[in-house]
């Protein structure tokens, strides 16, 4: 057997062996790829300033059980008009620079949403004797995942007064003022209503439809003019940016093409 023929057979066998190995490795790589998230909507995108209405994508999912006039949940959250009249949206929301922060109304097309029609009134209005607990409200929306696994989230958000995000789980009503979620939390609670800020982190998702929950915390504040009374402020929140499709899958495909190209170049050198 001549050396060129032998080298050619070795090259062909090596090619088949490597391609077979790639075929076996491909499903494993796909199974561990980061899921691609789609269909996660920003808040209040159906209306332009200065109009308002109900949000088709975000719903009020749970309220404090201590709230005596509790409406039936879930129901579609309300998009605030955004400053017409200006008194309808608190100064720290419209614009946020009024509270030392960023202009967070209409950021990236998102709008503030809340509980009670086109109105930012407090859920518990009036004055109370300190101390009092904060209260939370839970909002919910859906998103799609192309596969099961651990997804990465980046949410640009602001809330009055703080917001935490969860994927999946059920509502925990142990605290009658502060319902929360039992699912996986994304990052940490975002505080500071005057500023847009990022909440980033990973959470397990299933293939198909998933639920994202926003737990918005309203803070009880003592009246600076009278320490014997306190009150709750307006309640609402905004999500101005959501995850983009993952580039990891595209990167993996590119790496596969590069690997096959390298194999062909090496085989050509062996056969020469």
pLDDT above 90 covers a percentage of the chain that reads 39
Output the pTM of the full model.
Answer: 0.74
Which tens digit of pLDDT belongs to each residue from 228-251? 999 887 778 888 777 755 433 333
pLDDT band at 112 (very low <50, low <70, confident <90, very high): confident
Which tens digit of pLDDT belongs to each residue from 75-90? 999 888 755 444 455 6
Q: Please tell me the total number of residues recorded for the chain in this structure.
A: 272
Please give the mean pLDDT across all residues of the chain.
74
Task: Give the dihedral sign, CA 78/166/212/154.
Answer: positive
pLDDT exceeds 50 at position 225: yes
Q: What confidence score (pLDDT) does residue 253 get?
A: 30
Residue 47, CB half-sphere, CA atoms under 13 Å: how many? 22
pLDDT exceeds 50 at position 192: yes
Beta strands in the chain (DSSP E): 37-38, 53-62, 75-79, 113-114, 135-145, 149-160, 162-167, 171-172, 180-181, 184-191, 197-205, 208-218, 220-222, 230-232, 236-241
| Contact of 171 with 62, CB cutoff 8 Å | yes
In the three-class reduction of DSSP (H, G, I as helix; E, B as strand; rest coil), residue 203 is classed as strand
Q: Where are the alpha helices (DSSP H) in the chain?
A: 3-31, 248-271
């Amino acid at each position: 057997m001549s050396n060129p023929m032998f080298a050619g057979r070795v090259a062909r066998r090596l090619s088949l062996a490597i391609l077979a190995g790639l075929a076996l490795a491909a499903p494993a790589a796909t199974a561990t790829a980061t899921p691609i998230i789609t269909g996660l909507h920003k808040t209040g995108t159906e209306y332009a300033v200065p109009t308002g209405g109900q949000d088709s994508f975000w719903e009020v999912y749970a309220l404090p059980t201590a709230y005596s006039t509790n409406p039936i949940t879930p129901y579609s959250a309300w998009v605030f008009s955004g400053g017409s009249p200006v008194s309808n949206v608190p100064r720290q929301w419209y614009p946020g620079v009024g509270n030392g922060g960023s202009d967070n109304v209409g950021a990236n097309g998102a709008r503030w949403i809340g509980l009670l029609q086109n109105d930012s009134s407090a859920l518990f209005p009036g004055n109370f004797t300190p101390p009092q607990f904060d209260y939370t409200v839970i909002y919910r929306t859906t998103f799609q995942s192309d596969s099961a696994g651990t997804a990465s989230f980046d949410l640009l958000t602001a809330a009055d007064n703080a917001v935490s995000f969860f994927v999946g789980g059920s509502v925990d009503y142990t605290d009658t003022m502060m319902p929360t979620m039992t699912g996986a939390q994304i990052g940490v609670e975002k505080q500071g209503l005057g500023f847009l800020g990022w909440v980033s982190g990973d959470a397990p998702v299933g293939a198909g439809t998933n639920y994202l929950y926003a737990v918005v915390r309203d803070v009880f504040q003592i009246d600076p003019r009278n320490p014997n009374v306190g009150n709750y402020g307006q309640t609402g929140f905004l999500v101005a940016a959501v995850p983009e499709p993952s580039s990891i899958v595209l990167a993996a495909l590119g790496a596969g093409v590069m690997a096959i190209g390298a194999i062909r170049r090496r085989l050509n050198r062996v056969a020469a």
